């Protein structure tokens, strides 16, 4: 039920962390993968790693906050892979700050990368999916898209918007056989999580130890989130749309 053979997937933020883990897993399950990221060196390395393991992949450099870049990424994916069945909007950034501490340009960049990118890529992908008979859109939000978090005002606002955008698109396009779902990870050991420690002036060790204070007693691994994405991308979830899947080791359970 989680076989992705013959499927074509575009994954943003795929050069590292959750995006990289998901690109590798999707390729392992048979999907051709368009690796999309602003980091050309790391993104190219991921595509080459997939190919070295017998998979099919290509890399496209893209600033997901720019419509022209998103258009080129979609067009290049269609050209190289011959279609688009799965869109994973994973790219994201965080600014650890309260509202008064957040500069306007920082607010705008967080909202552009985390929310506007979902809109830009989805509005170009959806017509292609309709022509192809359907598809899957997966959006990566956060536990902080469901509950508030301290010193992360712009991030929380952006991830809450992703949750609601997911539900709206799911309602709008269910009749066209396009399923739209959202994953809300808890703290996951990625470069972005470790960067949060530096933004807050804390040691990575102490920051990760605090992040592990949840019922399952550890932070998430990128592979944990990738497995959730695999479920939502495959036929095992054929009756699932508009859902918000929390993958956080029980952090929001109580």
Domain ranges of the chain: 8-187+221-246
User: Exposure string (b/e) for 171-194, b if CB count within 10 Å is 16 or more?
Assistant: eebeeeebbbbbbbbbbbbbeebe
Specify whether 155 is catalytic. yes
Catalytic pick among 26, 60, 155, 207:
155
Q: Which two tokens stand for residue 205?
A: 């060790």
73 CB neighbour count, 10 Å cutoff: 24
pLDDT in tens, 29-71: 999 999 999 999 999 999 999 999 999 999 999 999 999 999 9
User: Tell me, what's the pLDDT at 31?
Assistant: 98
Of the candidates 56, 54, 112, the residue with the CA atom closest to the CA atom of residue 81? 56
Domain 8-187+221-246 class in CATH: alpha beta
pLDDT category, 101, cuts 50, 70, 90?
A: very high
Mean pLDDT for all residues in the chain: 98
User: Tell me, what's the pLDDT at 254?
Assistant: 85
pLDDT in tens, 117-163: 999 999 999 999 999 999 999 999 999 999 999 999 999 999 999 99
Phi, psi of 161 (to 5 degrees): -65, -35
Measured between alpha carbons, how far is residue 104 from residues 64, 101, 111, 192 in Å? 19, 10, 11, 21
User: Tell me, what's the pLDDT at 154?
Assistant: 98
User: Tell me, what's the pLDDT at 128?
Assistant: 98
Rg of the chain over Cα atoms, rounded to whole angstroms, equals 17
User: Tell me, what's the pLDDT at 2?
Assistant: 79
Are 63 and 36 in contact by the 8 Å Cβ rule? The answer is: no
What pTM value is reported for the model?
Answer: 0.97
Are 154 and 111 in contact by the 8 Å Cβ rule? The answer is: yes
Q: Is pLDDT at 251 greater than 90 in this prediction?
A: yes
Side-chain half-sphere of 239: how many Cα atoms within 13 Å?
0
């Amino acid at each position: 039920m989680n076989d992705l053979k013959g499927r074509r997937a575009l994954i943003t933020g795929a050069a590292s962390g959750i995006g990289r883990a998901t690109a590798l897993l999707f390729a392992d399950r048979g999907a051709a993968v368009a690796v999309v990221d602003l980091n050309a060196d790391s993104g190219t390395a991921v595509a080459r790693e997939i190919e070295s393991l017998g998979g099919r992949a290509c890399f496209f450099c893209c600033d997901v906050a720019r419509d022209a870049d998103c258009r080129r990424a979609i067009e290049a994916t269609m050209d190289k892979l011959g279609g688009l069945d799965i869109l994973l909007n994973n790219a994201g950034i965080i600014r650890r700050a309260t509202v008064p501490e957040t500069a306007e340009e920082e607010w705008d960049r967080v909202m552009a990368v985390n929310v506007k990118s979902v809109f830009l890529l989805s509005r170009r992908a959806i017509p292609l999916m309709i022509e192809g008979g359907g598809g899957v859109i997966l959006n990566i939000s956060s536990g902080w898209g469901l509950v508030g978090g301290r010193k992360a005002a712009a991030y929380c606002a952006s991830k809450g918007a992703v949750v609601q955008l997911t539900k709206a698109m799911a309602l709008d396009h269910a009749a066209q056989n396009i399923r739209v779902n959202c994953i809300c990870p808890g703290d996951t050991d990625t470069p972005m999580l470790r960067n949060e420690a530096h933004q807050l002036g804390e040691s990575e060790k102490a920051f990760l130890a605090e992040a592990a204070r949840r019922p399952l007693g550890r932070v998430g691994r990128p592979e944990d989130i990738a497995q959730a994405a695999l479920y939502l991308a495959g036929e095992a979830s054929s009756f699932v749309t508009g859902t918000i899947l929390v993958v956080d080791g029980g952090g929001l359970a109580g």
